[in-house]
Structures are given as C-alpha cells and as structure tokens.
Amino acid sequence: MRFLLDSIRAKSATGATPIHDHSQHRGAMPPPSPSSGKPAADKAASLAPAGYDAYLRDMHVGMEKMMQDMHADPPSGDPDIDFLVMMVPHHWGAVEMARLVLRDGRDPLVREIAEAILAGQQTEMQGMRGRLEALRRGGDGYPSLSGNRGP
C-alpha cells in the first residue's frame, strides 16, 4: 500500500493525478441531477460511459448510508471511542466506493488503488473494532501499535 500511495503522490506532484482534499464532504453528497445548469458539467455528463448513472446513484446511496452510520450512535464522552465508532463506517464507505469503481471503472491505476483499499480497509476495520471492544470493556492501558493496527 505504501508503494501505491508513493506512486500516487509522485503523479500528483507532476499534475498527472489530482489530490482529493475531502473538503466537499462536510455533509451528505448532493443528489445526482440530470442537468447541473453548468455547460462544462453537462457536457461531461453527456460524454459519460453507459452505466454512469447507476454508478453515480449507487455512490450517492453509499455515501448517504456512510454518513448515517457514522452518526448513528450518540457521543460517548470518550474521544477515542467516538473516533473509532465513526471511523469504522467511514472505512466501510471506502470499501463500498472501491467495489463500485471495480465494477464500473476502467483505469488500471484506479483499479489497483481500489483493490489495495479493499485489502487494507478490511484489516484496518478489524483492528478498529477490536480496539473499540477493548476500550468499551474498560481498556487495558494504551498499548503501542506495531505492524498491524489494532488492539
């Protein structure tokens, strides 16, 4: 995964791959619309591959679910627990997004990134769930994390 991320950063530095800053994720994604009223966006939509509407719809549904799941539990009063409670659905959202791009995407590098996300996020979520369980039981101190993240 580190090699993959280094490769993405290198391409971003040359302008070959834009960096996504997540600033637009301040709330739920806006619903897809057939016409944005912006000529460039409408032209891009008209050039979209067949099946893009399904991809966009499924992405929107997935993001809405992720946002709902992230905020389903009330705050616990413990920043560590609240962080993990929200991060598990956030990482699951990444898994769902990766599955969608593997279903509909064509770019080999993007597909490689999606495959790495599928492999890595499963391990990340397992570690987060394990640590969350330990913290909810009263914790066992603050162990150092070596190699794999987790309890």
- Cα 103 from Cα 127, distance rounded (Å): 27
pLDDT tens readout for residues 51-100: 788 888 888 888 888 888 888 888 999 999 999 999 999 999 999 999 99
Question: What one-letter code names the amino acid at 17?
Answer: T
- Cα 126 from Cα 105, distance rounded (Å): 27
Nearest to 78 by CA among 138, 144, 145, 150: 138
pTM of the model: 0.60
Cα angle for residues 37, 41, 44 (degrees, 5° grid): 140
